[in-house]
Amino acid sequence: MGLIKQAEAVKESVGAGRERYLGNTKNLMLVVIDFEDGPTSEPDPPHSHPHEQMSYVAAGEIIVHIGAEQSQLGPGDMFSVPPDVPHTVQLLTKHVRLVDAFTPIRDEFLS
């Protein structure tokens, strides 16, 4: 994959009001996920994975939960998640856009 234009990207629904598109190389993956179902009264159920993750809040506001820690974040803020640590977000605004980087790539996102 070389260039990915948002207008031409294949977007995948990952739940009601949520979609993502992505790009990857052999060792790195970048995922854009748009949430249109906020605000929410509770965080999503926590999940974990063996991948390192860095996330950038491109739009909206969230509360991020990483292990026992939580913090409110807005546009321009970032967070990191070590491998196998439970984490989740709670949406504080109607629209949230996160840009997530993973290494190694998440093969399950490619199927």
Instruction: Determine the topology of domain 27-109 in CATH.
Output: Jelly Rolls (2.60.120)
User: According to the model, what pLDDT value does residue 111 have?
Assistant: 72
Domain ranges of the chain: 27-109
10-53: pLDDT as tens digits: 999 999 999 999 999 999 999 999 999 999 999 999 999 999 99
As a residue count, the chain comes to 111
Nearest to residue 111, comparing CAs of 6, 24, 4, 16? 24
**How does pLDDT run across 63-91, given as a tens digit for each residue?**
999 999 999 999 999 999 999 999 999 99
What's the whole-model pTM score?
Answer: 0.94
